[in-house]
Structure 1
Amino acid sequence: MSYFQKFTGALAALCLLSGAGAGWADEAKPPVATSLGYSERMLDRQEDVSGKVGIALRARQTGEIGMLTFGGRLFATIIAERTNTAGKFPILSRLPPTHTSGTSDVYSVVNEATVHATLALPLVTAFAQAEYTEVEYPGQDALQLRKYWVAFGDLDRSPFYLAVGRKTVNFGNFATYAPFTHSHSNHYFWAQSKDPVIEVGYLGKNTDLAFTLIPGHRGLRVVDSPDNDGDYENYALNLAHRLDLTGGMQLQLGGGYLRGTIYDSAIAHHPPSAGTARVWNGAYNLNATLSGDRYDLMAEFTKTTGIWPATGHKVSALTLQGRYRSELFGKPATYSLSLSRGVQGAKGTAWEKMDQAVLGLEVDMSKHLKIGVEYMFNDGFVPLIMPKAVGDAGVQSHTLIIGAKLTF
């Protein structure tokens, strides 16, 4: 029996045990329903990257979701790329197998077809997300049960919660205002677990705090530890605090620490469980977001605490970005500019850094459909696999992306 069958079976059993959802606060909410706003946040990979448990618990508290809430998203793009160096294209939020060996390429891809389900019982909230993608990492299945977790807590009774499952590790912010492409901050440090983690958190009026215990294994992204023994010796701490300012503005300040990252080995890709000398190499994160009625401005910086043995240098990422909400031909539209830099080598080396600038526009064509377009410029080419062997500071590339997101 697969993990998905086991998890959905458990959801069904919990539904039967709960009767008709006794104890649910919003009696007018249908027991089985969809919620567009909730789906957009829970399935979002650009802005709401971490903190999904908090989104679900707050949606439960406000009555945005009922006892059983379903949703889904279809996200597809057409990508046109041109580079001044054959075979070297930008790879942020895409993978090398999608590129050609020439200097230009045009291709279409289904980034994801995703479904999710959330079950809300007294004191228990369970979530599962399954997805199909054409940009899976080599060796992964195109169809995956990407996330599954259970949270214990009720914000009407207490601001504290406990969550257990496979999920994004609550570390950093890593929002990217561009419609489709990730920033260097996201690409370098977005931490995803492969095995279930244990998260204890606090969700106050203006403060979110989370502590996560992570098993000692190579995660799906960024998470790693010197010994792949499964012991819960890796951990993350994350804090976000919101300040209400004059004129309806709000300032959010955040910070976090992750004890074990992939930047811990001389082998710059998925280190094996034996045969390499690895040490703990953590990362710290600082972020700030200033928001008004129509705009957001954000800065984020993340850096490893030690050098990456593969490059002999600490790894860092900086993102500066802004967006403005307006209209285009009578439709709600968001204009964005995202600038980011990733650094992993000493000054003057071919693998020193990468720079990226993304101009974006996303238009709400209807309640469920968003159409977006991006122009992206990349300076430098440094994949995080064998960076010293293939890094090339002279690469410059231009990319145009047109895409659509259909959500329910």
Structure 2
Amino acid sequence: MSAARGHLIDLTPLKSSPAFARMWIGSTLAGIGGQLTIVTVMLHVFALTQSTFAVSMIAVAGLLPMIFAGLYGGMLADAFDRRRVALIAATVTFAATGLLATLTWTGNETIWWLYVLSIVISAANSVGMATRTAIVPRLIPRNMLAAASALNGVAFGVTVMAGPAVAGVLVALTGYGWTYTIDVILMLSMFLDLWTLPALRPEGDIVRPGLTSLVDGWRFLRSASNIRMQYVIDIIAMTFGQPLVLFPALGTVILGGGAVTTGILTAAVAVGTFASSLLSGRVVHYRWHGRGIERAVEAYGASILLFGVVLLVGALSGSATEHSPDVALIVAACVALALSGASDNVSSIYRNTMMQAAVPDTMRGRLQGVFIVVVTGGPRVGALYAGTLATVTALWFPPLLGGVLVIALVALLARRSRRFHDYDAENPEP
């Protein structure tokens, strides 16, 4: 029994820090609503255009604004009260989602409105995410950071598992307006948890947002080879191993089942994330985080490769339609995606812990801003890769090729960077 408990998730951060517990609960509820909107916008655009490329352009159009928001948001978090910065970012997201719901209910939504409001929401979320992540090390001690990352994996798993599944069902049964409205309601929880935090001014020398602050952050990053390497590895994984943009078309063409299948596929990733977080008791105590990232991302590439194989089999059989899904293929695809979610979550635990432990507080906001740009920007580049390649080839080809590229490129980088390979969490060095 004790051995089994040793594999289960460590809840110590929630017990020892009420402030962290409140922020974790609020972010989880708001995250569910955010996932509702992400999936619903994808389905909405596909319904208006019948184009996978148009769906991929949601992510691509928001890439530059999101990069700017992430970088500038990190500078704000290093210069001002992080609680206040997070509250302002949440307010912008709340207003944009409210406008999206209003336009939909009144029948005035257009594809351009969907693009513009998606950009605003993603930019505001970049600022908020960078700031909230920089807050965490101020709420709990360093030896609990890995456990906190695993708890955030549970939160992410719940949000991505529940949000897309509910979105698919709601769109199929009630349309788009209700989904956006529920997101607006759930976002209120984030305001409640942020209001209860104390003022959180950054420690150390404060540099006002601007070119000097950006240059200081860049100089630090140039000397932080471990941080740079985890960025590069994550960009590779997300660029070549992110098939999310294909899901709406898969529910219509290869796997069948329409919007419900889209939600199920997206939720399958979260099932893996959630399960691996629940069983993270031993994972969070593994001290060689560089090796952990390498192996987890290689496993991620193998999972995406398996997903591509499943789609190839489905394309060759050609038996599924939107109203007649191939259940066996959907299950196989979900298994592959769950494995990808589990391996990505293990990598995320080590990457987040490295960021929070090895980077000093005075730089944490800026580096978290860059980290958010990488984490959220990589999938957008991946959406362009998958959407464009699927348009000129076939839906199964991007994940098949992408999985091979992820495995090969990460293995090559691992051989060339011994310092990253030997990174020790007990002696964190950026």
What's the TM-score once normalised by structure 1's chain length?
A: 0.24
TM-score (norm: length of structure 2): 0.23
Q: Which has the higher strand share?
A: 1
More helix by share: 2
**Structure with more contact order per residue of length (Cα contacts < 8 Å, sep ≥ 6):** 2
